[in-house]
Amino acid sequence: MPLSFQVLGQPGRDNALFVKLDSGQAQTRFLFDCGDGCPHQLPAAELREIDHLCFSHLHIDHVAGFDLFFRTNFNRTSKENRIWVPPGSGAIIGHRLRGFLWNLVGDRDPGEWLVSECGPDAIRTVRYCASEGFAVAHPEPDRPRRRRVIVDGGAFTLEAVLLDHGTPSAGYIVREAPHVNVDTEKLAALGLSPGPWLKRLRDPAAGPDDTVAVAGARHSLARLRRQLLVTTPGDSIAYLTDFRVDASANELATALHGVNTVVCESHYRSADVHLAAAAMHSTAAEVAAMAKTAGVGRLILFHVSDRYDAAARRDMLLEAQAVFAATAMVQGW
């Protein structure tokens, strides 16, 4: 599968989400939050290849497992070390990076870490260097945001949507780029043989007036594209946790429209909505209503309060399914 995911952690304990996107040419790995014990569930090889660590916010149950991830990758140079956080949280990550004794590091440890705050209008990034023991924060130029997109990887986009947990919190959406394929039946019907020209046909840099040679004859590239190319949407997944859905419902419904899978907190049952409001969390029925309004493909509930046992979690799931039938809980919960 081009996009796969794994919910990490246990019910009533710290959780996180691991996502892998395989475009056919490259693999991109995302880790959303870093709760206690969560990185330990990933093979070391996967942990070393994470491209983007995305924090919803920095309460301890979302950060407590960071040390293993950082220990594994602190001087990594094979790829960028990227951390994404909501506004106002970058300095806390800087303190985490500096919170160890680094007297033995030096030029032989050239790894750099980019910590980016996803503000409403701009992305503010600070660079930290392993060779300096992460002691100096080097500001990078601010980068304006294009809507919700914080990373455009060509084969995918990563979006951040700001939420309210009594402190800024961020939800994230990974969208695979649309698939552009050649309709082989139409190709045969036109009497055209496959060949290197198909690469040119799918090249987005080609101009509308360009032509392509097929078996010695010139053909309009624009016409062949209309006749042969079929575009299908890519897969998508969203990660939402620690927020009051009623404070963010309209923006979320817009951001999540058409997302295939939404992994979302369901911290409380409907009977405990007063607890949800006081703690700036959401109930299972509330997030189910949000998913229904947004028209998502399916909703997966996670990050459940430890006040609920397995029977209560089954009842919680039924409450959500009564609102949005395409709801499930993490398998085994």
If DSSP states are collapsed to H, E and C, what string results for the chain?
CCEEEEEEECCCCCEEEEEEEECCCCEEEEEECCCCCCHHHCCHHHHCCCCEEECCCCCHHHCCCHHHHHHHHCCCCCCCEEEEECCCCHHHHHHHHHCCCCCCCCCCCCCEEEEEEECCCEEEEEEEEHHHCCCCCEECCCEECECCEEEECCCEEEEEEEEECCCEEEEEEEEECCEEEECHHHHHHCCCCCCCHHHHHCCCCCCCCCEEEECCEEEEHHHHHHHHEEEECCCEEEEECCCCHHHHHHHHHHHCCCCCEEEEECCECHHHHHHHHHHCCCEHHHHHHHHHHHCCCEEEEECCCCCCCHHHHHHHHHHHHHHCCCEEECCCC
Residues assigned a catalytic role: 61
User: What torsion, rounded to 10 degrees, do the Cα atoms 190, 191, 194, 200 define?
Assistant: -40
Q: Which two tokens mark 100?
A: 């160890």
* 119-131 burial code (b ≥16 CB/10 A, e <16): beeebbbbebbbe
d(C-alpha 103, C-alpha 83), whole Å: 24
